[in-house]
Structure 1
Amino acid sequence: MSWIVDYIQSKGGQIAVIFGGNEYSYTQLAEQIRMYYDEVQNKLYSGAVIAIISDYCFESIALFFALYENRNIIVPVTSRIEAEIEEKLSVAGCNYIISIEKGYLEFKEYFGKNETHLLICDLRTMNVSGLVLFSSGSTGVPKAMIHNLNTLIDSFRNKKGRNLTFLIFLMFDHIGGLNTLLSCLSMGTTMVFPVNRNPEHVCGLIEKYKVNVLPASPTFLNLILISESYMKYDLSSLRMITYGTEPMQDALLLRLKDVFPEVKFLQTFGTSETGISQTLSRSSTSTQLKIDDPNTEYKIVDGELFIRTKTQILGYLNYSMEHFTDDGWFKTGDLVEEMDDGYIKIVGRNKELINVGGEKVLPSEVESVLFQMERVKDCIVFGESNPITGQIVVAKILFDEDISVSDAKKKVTLFCQGKLERYKIPVRVLLMKEVEFSERFKKKRL
C-alpha cells in the first residue's frame, strides 16, 4: 500500500470521518480502503478510467483511495443531472462507472469513446493514477483537466500532524474539496462532512462536533450572516475560517470579523489547473495575501496573475493549452494589485471586466462599495451591452427591506457618488428576492 494508506492505518482509533451522524475511525477507513481495493483489483484493470458517481461520504473516500492504489484514472462526478453526467463520462473516456448503494459497490461498464486520449495513455505508461476534474464555468462545455494523482498526493507527504476538526464544505469533484481532504488525512485530523450545504445544517454540525476550521466561499459565509444561523448555534469552537474560489469584498470580510471576532480569517488561492497553493493573509481583516509555497512560482504580467506549480495538470482532454505559456506558466485570468512588500490583492477576473466607453470597471470594486450600504444583504455587479458606451454597469441587489426599483436606484446613485468614478456607478439596478449563487456557492454573474 502507498504511504498515505499506511499513514491512515497508523492513526488507529482516532476519528477520521463524521458523516450522517456516524463516526468512522482511521482504522475503519484503512480497512474499508483495503476491502474495496481487493474488489476493484479483481474487477478493474490498472489504467482504466473510472467514474465515481457520488459526493463525499465514508464509502466514496475509501473507494477513491482504493482506485488510487489500483492505479486507475479517477473521475469524481457529483452531478445528479443525467445529461451532465453523460457528458462528463463521454469527455473523460470512462471505461467503468461505480456507484455506491448501502456501502456496496455497483460496477457498470461504459462504452464511450473508441480512442483513448494520449494523456491517459501517458499515465498508463508511467504506471500511475490520474484524476480528471471539470471546470465549473457557466458557459460552454466544461473543460476536462487531467492530473497525475500520484504527484498531487505526494505533495502532502510529511505534513505535521494536527489535532483539529475540519468541516469539509467544498465538493468531492472540486480541487479545493480534494485539497482539504488530502491535507486533513495527511495531518491525521477529524473531518466532518455535511449531508447538505445549507447554513443551518452546517452551523449545527459546527456546534455538535466542535469544528475548529471551516473552509468556504465568500458567498456561503454571507449566507450564514443573512440567515442568522450563527445566532442559533454555539460556534465558539471555530478557530479559523478560510475563504476562496471567488473574490471577497472588503466590506463583507469586515462584517464577518465583527460576527466572529476571535476567529482567524485566511484567504486561500488555487485553480483546478495548478492545485491549491499555501498562502498568508496580511491580517484577518485584509484581502491582501502572499503566496508562500515552495511548490509554487508566480509572476504578474499586465496585471494578470501567472502561476507555475509542481502539481499542475498534464493538460486538457477536450481543450487546447492556450491558457498555458510554452514554458509552463498558467494564465489564471485573475487580475491583481501588487504591493511593495510582496502581498497581492485579487481584484477580479479579466473575463468579468466591464468596458464602459473604453474605461474598465471591476465588478468587485463596485460590489465592495455597495456592501457598505445599510440594509444591503448581497449584490452582484455585471456588464450589460449598450449601443452607445459598449457596456453599462448593472447591479442586482438584495435589500432587507421592501423597496421599489426606482427608490433603490436613487439610493445606490447617491451612496456611490464620491466613492466611485461616475462611469462605475450602476446605471441599472435590479432587485433580488434571495441570494443567487451557483451549485459551487459562487456568485452567478450574467
Structure 2
Amino acid sequence: MSWLVENFKKFGSKIAIIHNDEKYTYKDLYNKINEFLNEIKKEIKIGEVVAILGDYSFENIALLLALHLNKNIIVPITSTKGNEIKERLKEANCDKVIRIDNRKLIIDNLNYKDKHQFIKTLQKKKHSGLILFSSGSTGKPKAMIHDFDNLVNYYKGKKEKNINMLIFLMFDHIGGLNTLLNILSIGATAIIPKNRNADEVCKLIEKYKIRVLPASPTFLNLILISKSYEKYDLSSLKMITYGTEPMPETLLKRLKQTFPKVRFLQTFGTSETGIANTYSKSSDSTFMKIDDPDIEYKIVNGELWLRSKTQVLGYLNAPMDSFTEDGWFKTGDLVEITDDGYIRIIGRSKEIINVGGEKVLPQEVETIILEIPEVIDCIVYGERNPITGQTVVADVVIKDGIDKKEAKRKIRKHCIKKLDNYKVPTKINFLEEINIGNRFKKIRRKDA
C-alpha cells in the first residue's frame, strides 16, 4: 500500500474532493480506491499500460491511485477528439483503456503489443509509471514517461493543512497533477470546477472560500477582462500561483492592483523535470528563485537547464536531443539573472523573431503594448518578410468603443518611444479575442 493512500485513513472524515457540489471525504476516497483496485485486478495485470479517458472527477482520481497501487503505467487523456485519442493510445503502447460511465468502470482491451524499453524498465522494477504528452504547440506532441512511484514520493513528509485549493490545470498536465498530489499529501480539499471559465472559477472561490488559486497568466487576464472578480466575493483568496508561460510585468501590476491583499507566487516546472519549489522576489516581481533540493539548475548561453530527481525516463516517440549525456534538460526558456541570484523568464528560444539578424523576444514587445490603458490583451509573433527575413506583428484586443485608427497610432507611438526600431510592430491587427489553447496558454502564430 502506498504511504499516500495510507494517509487517507488518518485524514478520515476531512473533505478531500468537491466536484459538481458533491463532497467526498478521504474515507470515501480510500474506499473507492480499494473498490476499483479489487475490480481492476481481475482484468489488468501488474505493469500493463492503461489509459484513463476523462478529466478530473472523484472516480478518475480514485482510479488513478488504484492503478498506481496496481503498479500500472498510467496514461491520462483528457482530449475528446477521436483521432487524437487513438494516436495517443498508440504512441503510449497501451494495453487497456478505461472510461467511467455512470460511475462504473468500462475496460477495453487494445492490441498495442510492442513496448518501448522505458516501459520495460518500469515493468522490471515493478514501479507504476505515468505517460504525459506535450501540448504539441511546436510540432507533434511528445510522449514522455515518468516513474510515478518516484513522483508520488516527492510529496512525502509534507505537513498536514486545512485549506481549500482549486485544481485548474488539466488531469493530463504535470502542473495539474502536481496540484492534486500536493493537496492529497497534506490532507487539504481539492475543488474541481465544472468548466474552466472565469465566471465559474470566481463563483467557486466565493462559495467554498478557496484560499489558493493556481492558474496561468492568460487565464488570470481573462478574469480581469471578464470582470468576474467584481461579481463575487474573492476575499478568501490568500495566494495566486502562476506558471506555464511568462507573466508580462504589466499584467502582474494590473493583477496586484485588483487583488492588493493576495500574495502572487511564480511557479516553474516542465513536463520533463516536474515542478520545482520556487519563491518570488516579491508579489509584484517576475523574478524568482528555484529553491529545491531535488532540482539543480544552471544557465547556459542565456538558456535555463534543469536536472531533477523526478525527471522523465525519456520520450517514447522522439529523440532525446533536449537532454545532455549527463542528464541536463535544456528547457528552451531564455532567462536573465540578477546579481543576487534571482532569475526571470523572458521568452522561449523557439519564439525569437529574427529581424535582419536582430533578435526580438515577443514577450518584451507584449509588455510594452500592455502598458497602454486602451489595450486589454495582445500577442506578438513573426511573419516572413522578403527584405529582413521576418517582421514583428501584433494581434491586439482593445476596449469597447475605442477607435482603431487612434489605437493603432497610440500603439505605434508608444512602441517607438520604448523599443528599438526593429522591435516595433510593422503590422497591428485588431481582434475580438486572443486565441488560447485548452491549457490556457496563448497560441502564438508561427511564421507563415
* TM range, smaller chain: over 0.9
Q: Which amino acid aligns with 1:365?
A: E
**Aligned-partner Cα distance in 1 for 2:403–2:77:** 42
Any idea what SS the aligned residue of 2:333 has? strand
- Computed over aligned residues only, the root mean square deviation of the Cα atoms, in angstroms, reads 0.9
**Residues 72 and 130 in structure 1, CA contact (< 8 A), matched pair in contact too:** yes
Are 1:413 and 2:404 matched, yes or no? no
Measured in 2, the distance between the counterparts of 1:331 and 1:148 equals 20
Residues 1:268 and 2:271 are matched in the alignment: no
Question: What is the TM-score of this pair, normalised by structure 1?
Answer: 0.99
In structure 2, the residue matched to 1:442 is: 441
Give a deviation string over 1:203-251, Cα, whole Å, max 9, x none.
0000000000000000000000000000000000000000000000000
Match of 1:47 in 2: 47
Instruction: Say if 2:64 is the partner of 1:64.
Output: yes
In the superposition, relative to structure 1, how do residues 10 and 44 fare at CA in structure 2: closer, same or farther (>3 Å)?
same
Aligned 8 A contact 1:408 1:429 in 2: no
SS at match of 1:16: strand
Tell me the CA shift for residue 404 of structure 1: 5.9
Residue aligning to 2:152: 153
2:132 is equivalent to residue 107 of structure 1: no
2: CA distance between counterparts of 1:325 and 1:139?
A: 21
Does residue 422 of structure 1 match 2:415?
no
Tell me the residue number matched to 1:254.
253
User: Is 1:270–1:276's contact at 8 Å kept on the other side of the alignment?
Assistant: yes
Aligned mates of 1:159, 1:69 — CA distance in 2: 20
TM superposition shift of 1:407: 3.8
- In the TM superposition, what are the counterparts of 1:31-42 in structure 2 within 5 Å? 31-42=31-42
Contact 1:324 1:330 in 2 (8 A): yes
The question of whether the paired residues in 1 share the 8 Å contact of 2:395 and 2:434 is answered with: no
Alpha-carbon separation, structure 2, partners of 1:83 and 1:213: 36
In structure 1, give the amino acid aligned to 2:439. R
Deviations for 1:71-98, whole angstroms, at most 9, x for unmatched residues?
0000000000001100100000000010
Cα distance in 1 for partners of 2:323, 2:8 equals: 36
Alignment of 1:354-433 (within 5 A): 354-402=353-401, 406-433=405-432
Q: CA deviation digits over 1:135-160, x for unaligned, max 9?
A: 00224320000000000000110011
CA–CA distance in 2 between the matches of 1:392 and 1:407? 22
- The count of aligned residue pairs is 445
Give the AA of the match of 1:178. L
- For the 8 Å contact 2:366–2:380, the answer to whether it is kept is yes
**Could you tell me which amino acid in structure 1 is paired with residue 374 of structure 2?**
R
Structure 2 unaligned blocks of 5 or more: none
1:177-326 correspondence to structure 2 within 5 Å: 177-326=176-325
> What is the DSSP-based 3-state SS (H/G/I as helix, E as strand, rest coil) of the residue aligned with 1:413?
helix
- Residue 331 of structure 1 aligns to a residue whose secondary structure is strand
Percent sequence identity is 56
* SS of residue matched to 2:251: helix
Residue 87 of structure 1 corresponds to which residue in structure 2?
Answer: 87
Match of 2:14 in 1: 14
Measured in 2, the distance between the counterparts of 1:303 and 1:195 equals 40
Alignment check: 8 A CA contact 1:334 1:349 kept = yes
Residue 427 of structure 1: how far off its partner (Å) = 0.6
- Give the whole-Å Cα distance in 2 for the aligned partners of 1:271 and 1:425: 31
Asked if structure 2 preserves the Cα contact closer than 8 Å seen for 1:52 and 1:60, the reply is: yes
SS of corresponding position for 1:299: strand
AA matched with 2:413: L
Deviation, structure 1 residue 418: 2.0
Deviation at 1:102, TM superposition (A): 1.6
Shift of 1:409: 2.8
Distance in 2, Cα, partners of 1:118 & 1:424:
47
- Tell me the SS of whatever aligns to 1:325: coil
State the AA in 2 paired with 1:290.
K
Matching residue of 2:168: 169
The answer on whether the counterparts of 2:379 and 2:434 sit within 8 Å (CA) in structure 1 is no
Residues 129 and 148 of structure 1 are in contact (CA less than 8 Å); yes or no, is this contact kept in structure 2?
A: yes
Q: How much does 1:405 deviate? A: 5.2
Shift of 1:27: 0.6
What SS does the corresponding residue of 1:43 show, helix, strand or coil? coil
Question: Partners of 1:406 and 1:144 in 2: how far apart?
Answer: 46
State the distance in 1 between where 2:107 and 2:203 align: 35
Structure 1: distance between partners of 2:397 and 2:384: 23
- Matched to 1:233, the amino acid is Y
d(CA) in 2 for partners of 1:96, 1:325: 34
- Which whole-Å CA distance do the structure 1 matches of 2:153 and 2:423 have between them? 46
SS at 1:246's partner residue? coil
Describe the SS at the equivalent of 2:417: coil
User: For 2:41, what is the secondary structure of its paired residue?
Assistant: helix
CA distance in 2, matches of 1:373, 1:338: 27
Instruction: Give the whole-Å Cα distance in 2 for the aligned partners of 1:431 and 1:439.
Output: 22
User: CA separation in 2, counterparts of 1:120 and 1:89?
Assistant: 14
SS of residue in 1 equivalent to 2:17: strand
Letter paired with 1:66: A
Once the 2 structures are TM-superposed, how far is the Cα of residue 163 of structure 1 from its aligned partner? 1.4
* Distance in 1 (alpha carbons) for counterparts of 2:403 and 2:84: 39
Instruction: Measure, in 2, the Cα distance between the counterparts of 1:291 and 1:268.
Output: 9
**Matched letter for residue 75 of structure 1:** V
Task: Provide the C-alpha distance between the structure 2 equivalents of 1:294 and 1:432, rounded to a whole number of angstroms.
Answer: 45
Match of 1:74 in 2: 74
Alignment check: 8 A CA contact 1:52 1:74 kept? yes
Partner AA of 2:87 in structure 1 = E
